[in-house]
Structure formats: structure tokens, C-alpha cells
């Protein structure tokens, strides 16, 4: 081989090695999504999270990779799934739902964690404070527990003569205690008896509903649990057997035939979580990002269901409604 050809080949090899080394140094960051739901149930929320990333300069497959693991409503699987994400060396974990957030926090103190949860993250031990979370965890709280009091007030506006209300909760959910305490504060003040129904599976929901068929309360409050939210059609169908006014935490329930919901815009929350993830990937410290709180809330009423129940919705609530389903 001539000397000039050898030098040319050597230069090409060096350039190729340099390019490969540069590509290796510029490894695409990876986000691990940890969801309490199934893949199908998580799709809308993850799409909004991706939108938040995209709006802030990150497109999946171009400059960020996303690996998703799903617990399918089985919270006991989350610790192992969270550990698996750390073994995959993700650069950030996005935790969808309170059980996922707690599982992610438990497995790492170094990988940034961005969450969307319903409960108070300070009381739950996720962060030190809302304004200065500290550590490696921050995100969005949906204020589900504080909203629980407002939901109950709305329910009592619908059924002003109610003296007994049943509350359907998931006993294995980490935010259940907080929500019960919030609702109890209102029932005690209003002199209303509160009956707690525990159900963490569809079979247990059936049993809880059956227990109310003989001694019927005046209304039902359905707690804001991820398991219930992942199955709005099934939950609403079971509640319908009671023929009672029921209030739900999110719009998915009246869209599935439930009577009324009061809560926040979950799509916006997941987009904001994507924006936070973008900021962290760009170098902002997790500890410097305060926990976000929603500023807009939605009242959704299903008039078709109200008519089937023989219930007249007060004009005041109709005027306040963000959406009326007819």
C-alpha cells in the first residue's frame, strides 16, 4: 500500500472513531415512565407528558428516549418496576400516580423524579415542602384531598336533605387516609353520617355496592383513587345499580355515565410535568423546582344521568358547570 493511501485510511479511521466517541458522549437522555395504570389506560396521560416535553424542545426518538413500565393497577408491583428503571440507567423517572411516586422515591436518591399525584406530597413524605422540595423529587399535586371537601359540598348541594353519605375508597391506596380526613371534616361540621366502603378490586366494589342495597344512604362519594380512575366505565356501571346521586373526582366518570364530577384538568397537569422534566434534562436542579399546584378546576354534569335518577340539578350548579352532558 502506498504511503499516501495508508495516511488517508488512517485519517478516515481516526475520524470514524472520533465521530463514534462523540456520539457516545452525546448519548440521548432516557426518561423512565412508571405508571400505576395499564398501557392502554396510561396512553392519554403519557401523550400529554410527551406534549409537554415537545413544547419545551424534546421529541421522543430525536433527542430523548422514553421507556415505560406499567403496574396494571397492582400497586405491589411498583417497587420492582421502579428498581428496574434504575437498572436501565434512566436519566429521569416520571411517576404517574401516588403509588408510583412513592415507589420511585424509595429506590433512588440521585435520579430525578417528576410526579403527578393527588395527595399532599409533604404529608406523604415525598418532598420537604411545596416551595422547596429538596432532594431529587418534585412535580404536580392535584390537591385531591383539599378538593374532596369541595366535592362533598357540591354533593350536599345536590342532595340538601342528606343525613348519610357513603364514601367508596381504596384501602391500599396511599392517599386514602388524607382524603377521608378531608371529607370527614365537612361531614362533622354539617352533621352528616359518613359510611366508609373499602374496595380495591372490581369484585370488592361489587360487594360494597351490594352492602348498600338494603340500607341505602342518600348519596355516594367516590374517592380519587388511580385504580378507580383506570376503570371509569366499570365503576360507574356498578354505582348505577344503586340509583343514587354520586360524585366523582374527574371528568372521565360523567363521560362514562356518572352523574357529576369536580376536579382539575389532568391533561394540563401531565403537560406541566413534561415541562418540568424538560427543565431538569436541560440542567435545572430538581430541588430548585417547587411542587406545582393546579389553578383551574372543572365541574362536569351529566344531565341524562340526572334525569334517569329523577334529580333536578340546581340552576346555580348548572351555571357554574364547565361542561354539561346532554
How many Cβ atoms are within 10 Å of 287's Cβ, its own excluded?
Answer: 16
Top-tier CATH class for 144-264+298-325 = alpha beta
Top-tier CATH class for 26-142+265-296 = alpha beta
Helices (H), 141-225: 144-158, 176-190, 202-212
Measure the CA–CA gap between 116 and 95, rounded to whole angstroms: 7
Which three cell numbers mark 206?
A: 361489587
Which three cell numbers mark 6?
A: 495508508
pLDDT (0 to 100) of residue 272: 96
Domain ranges of the chain: 26-142+265-296, 144-264+298-325
pLDDT (0 to 100) of residue 72: 85
pLDDT (0 to 100) of residue 175: 81
pLDDT (0 to 100) of residue 24: 43
pLDDT (0 to 100) of residue 26: 66
pLDDT (0 to 100) of residue 20: 39
Residue 267: burial class (beta carbons within 10 Å; 0-12, 13-18, 19+): middle
- Tell me if domain 26-142+265-296 and domain 144-264+298-325 are identical in fold: yes
How many Cβ atoms are within 10 Å of 10's Cβ, its own excluded?
Answer: 10
pLDDT (0 to 100) of residue 230: 82
pLDDT (0 to 100) of residue 119: 86
Q: What DSSP assignment string belongs to 4-21?
A: HHHHHHHHHHHHHHHHHH
Per-residue pLDDT of the chain (326 residues; tens, 9 = 90+): 454 544 444 444 444 444 334 444 567 999 999 998 888 888 989 999 999 999 999 999 999 999 999 998 888 999 999 999 999 999 999 999 899 999 999 999 999 999 999 888 998 899 999 999 989 999 999 887 778 899 999 999 999 999 999 999 999 888 888 899 999 999 999 999 999 999 999 999 999 999 998 888 999 999 988 888 888 999 999 999 999 999 999 999 999 999 999 998 888 999 999 999 999 999 999 999 999 998 888 999 999 999 999 999 999 999 999 999 98
Amino acid at each position: 500500500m502506498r504511503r499516501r493511501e495508508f495516511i488517508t485510511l488512517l485519517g478516515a479511521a481516526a475520524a470514524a472513531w472520533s465521530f463514534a466517541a462523540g456520539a457516545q458522549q452525546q448519548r440521548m437522555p432516557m426518561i423512565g415512565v412508571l405508571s400505576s395504570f395499564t398501557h392502554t389506560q396510561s396512553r392519554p396521560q403519557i401523550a400529554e407528558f410527551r406534549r409537554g416535553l415537545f413544547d419545551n424542545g424534546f421529541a421522543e426518538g430525536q433527542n430523548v428516549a422514553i421507556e415505560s413500565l406499567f403496574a396494571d393497577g397492582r400497586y405491589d408491583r411498583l417497587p420492582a418496576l421502579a428498581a428496574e428503571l434504575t437498572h436501565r440507567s434512566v436519566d429521569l423517572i416520571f411517576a404517574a400516580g401516588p403509588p408510583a411516586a412513592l415507589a420511585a422515591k424509595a429506590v433512588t436518591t440521585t435520579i430525578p423524579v417528576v410526579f403527578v399525584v393527588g395527595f399532599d406530597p409533604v404529608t406523604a413524605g415525598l418532598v420537604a415542602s411545596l416551595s422547596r422540595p429538596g432532594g431529587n423529587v418534585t412535580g404536580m399535586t392535584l390537591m385531591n384531598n383539599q378538593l374532596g371537601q369541595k366535592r362533598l359540598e357540591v354533593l350536599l348541594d345536590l342532595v340538601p336533605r342528606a343525613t348519610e353519605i357513603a364514601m367508596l375508597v381504596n384501602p391500599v391506596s396511599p392517599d386514602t387516609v388524607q382524603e377521608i380526613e378531608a371529607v370527614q371534616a365537612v361531614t362533622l361540621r354539617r352533621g352528616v353520617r359518613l359510611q366508609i366502603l373499602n374496595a380495591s378490586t372490581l369484585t370488592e366494589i361489587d360487594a360494597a355496592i351490594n352492602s348498600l342495597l338494603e340500607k341505602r344512604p342518600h348519596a355516594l362519594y367516590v374517592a380519587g383513587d388511580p385504580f378507580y380512575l383506570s376503570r371509569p366505565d366499570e365503576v360507574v356501571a356498578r354505582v348505577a345499580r344503586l340509583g343514587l346521586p354520586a360524585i366523582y373526582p374527574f371528568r372521565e366518570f360523567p363521560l362514562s355515565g356518572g352523574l357529576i364530577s369536580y376536579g382539575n384538568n389532568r391533561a394540563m397537569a401531565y403537560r406541566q410535568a413534561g415541562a418540568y422534566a424538560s427543565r431538569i434534562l436541560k440542567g435545572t436542579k430538581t430541588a430548585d423546582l417547587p411542587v406545582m399546584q393546579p389553578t383551574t378546576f372543572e365541574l362536569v354534569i351529566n344531565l341524562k344521568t340526572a334525569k334517569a335518577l329523577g334529580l333536578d340539578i340546581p340552576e346555580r350548579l348548572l351555571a357554574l358547570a364547565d361542561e354539561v352532558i346532554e
